[in-house]
Chain A
Amino acid sequence: MSTVRLRAVVNGEQRESAVDPRLLLVHWLRDELGLTGTHVGCDTSNCGACTCLLDGAAVKSCTVLAVQAEGAELETIEGMGTDADLHPLQAAFREEHGLQCGYCTPGMIMAAEGLLRRNPSPTEEEVKSGLEGNLCRCTGYHNIVKSVITASKHGGRAGSRETEGAQA
Chain B
Amino acid sequence: MEAGTSPESTETTNGAPDGWVGQAIKRKEDPRFITGTGRYIDDMTIPGMLHMAVVRSPEAHAAIVSIDKSEAEAMEGVVAVYTADDLPVEGGIPMVWDPPGVEVNTPEHMPLKSGEVKCVGDPVAVVLGTSKYGVVDAAELVIVEYEPKPVVVDPEAALEEGSPLVWDQFGTNKTHEWALAGGEDVGAAISGADVVVEQRIVNHRTAAAAIECRGCMAEARGDQITLFSSTQIPHITRFLMAGMLGMSEDHIRVVAPDVGGGFGGKLNTYAEEVLVCAISRKLGRPVKWIETRSENMSNTAHGRDQIATITLAAKSDGQVTGVRAKIVSDLGAYFQILTPFIAELGFPVAGGCYKIGGIDLHFTGVFTNKFATDAVRGAGRPEMTHWIEVMMDQLAQRLDMDPLELRRKNFIPTDEFPFTTALDITYDSGDYHGTLDKLLTHLDVDEFRREQAELRERGIHRGLGFSTYVEVCGLAPSRAVGPQGVGLQAAFWESAAVRVHPSGSATVYSGSSPHGQGLDTSFAQIAADRLGISPEQVDVLHGDTNQGPFGWGTYGSRSLSVGGEAIARASERVQAKAKKICAALLEAAPEDIELAGGEFRVRGQPDKTMTMADIAGAAHIPPNELPADIEPGLEETAFYDPENFVFPFGAHACIVDVDTETGKVEVKRWVAVDDCGPAINPMLIDGQVHGGVAHGIGQALYEQVVYDEEGQLVTGSFVDYALPTAAEVPMFETDRQETRSPVNSLGVKGVGEAGTIAATPAVVNAVVDALRPLGIDYLDMPLTPMRIWQAIEEAKGRGEGPRATEQGSDAGPHGRGAAGSGPTHPDGGGVA
Contact = CB atoms under 8 A, between A and B. Distances in A.
Interface stretch (A63-71, A89-97, A155-163): A89-97
Nearest to B37: A37
Interface string A7-46: 0000000000000101100010011000111111111101
Contacts of A78: 35-37
Contact of B211 (A47, A81, A86, A127): A47
The main secondary structure of chain B at its interface with chain A is: loop
Contacts of A137: 209-211, 261, 263, 691, 695, 723
B515 A101 contact: yes
Contacts of B293: 41-44, 47
A99 B33 contact: yes
Interface in A97-127: 97, 99-106, 109, 124, 127
B36 A35 contact: yes
A78 B36 CA distance: 6
Contact of A94 (B34, B133, B690, B719): B34
B687 A100 contact: yes
B517 interface: yes
A61 interface: no
Interface residues of B, number: 59
Interface in A42-63: 42-44, 46-47, 49
26 contacts: A36-B40, A41-B211, A41-B213, A41-B293, A94-B31, A97-B683, A97-B684, A99-B30, A101-B212, A101-B258, A102-B38, A102-B516, A128-B726, A129-B727, A132-B816, A136-B211, A136-B726, A137-B261, A137-B263, A137-B695, A138-B691, A139-B694, A140-B755, A141-B694, A141-B725, A142-B731
A131 B30 CA distance: 21
Given A135-B718, A140-B694, A141-B694, A37 B36 contact: yes
A134 interface: yes
A84 to B, nearest CB: 10
A83 B31 contact: yes
B132 interface: yes
A76 interface: yes
Contacts of A103: 38, 40, 210-212, 260-261
B732 interface: yes
A41 B693 CA distance: 22
Contacts of A139: 687, 690-691, 694
9 closest Cβ contacts across the A-B interface?
Answer: A37-B36, A102-B33, A103-B260, A101-B516, A140-B690, A140-B694, A77-B36, A46-B718, A100-B516
Contacts of B294: 43
Nearest to A124: B731
Contacts of B684: 97
A39 B30 CA distance: 16
Interface in B8-54: 26-27, 29-40, 42-43
A145 interface: yes
B732 A99 contact: no
Contacts of B31: 83, 94
A83 B691 CA distance: 26
A43 B717 contact: yes
A37 B728 CA distance: 27
A127 B726 contact: yes
B516 A138 contact: yes
B292 interface: yes
B726 A132 contact: yes
B562 interface: no
B686 A135 contact: no
Given A39-B40, A109-B34, A101 B261 contact: yes
Interface in B353-375: none
B818 interface: yes
Most chain B CB within a 10 A radius of its CB, from A27, A31, A42, A47 = A42
B692 interface: yes
A47 B27 contact: no
Contacts of B538: none
B190 interface: no
Contact of B258 (A20, A22, A83, A102): A102
Nearest to A76: B36
A144 interface: yes
Interface in B445-480: none
Nearest to A148: B726
Contacts of B209: 137
Contacts of B533: none
From B37, B213, B258, B818, name the one whose CB has the most chain A CB atoms within 10 angstroms.
Answer: B37
A137 B755 CA distance: 13
B157 to A, nearest CB: 31
B38 A47 contact: no
A2 interface: no
B36 A38 contact: yes
A109 B30 CA distance: 13
Nearest to B36: A37
B719 A145 contact: no
A86 B34 contact: yes
Contacts of A142: 690, 729, 731-732
Interface in B266-310: 292-294
Nearest to B263: A137
A127 B731 CA distance: 12
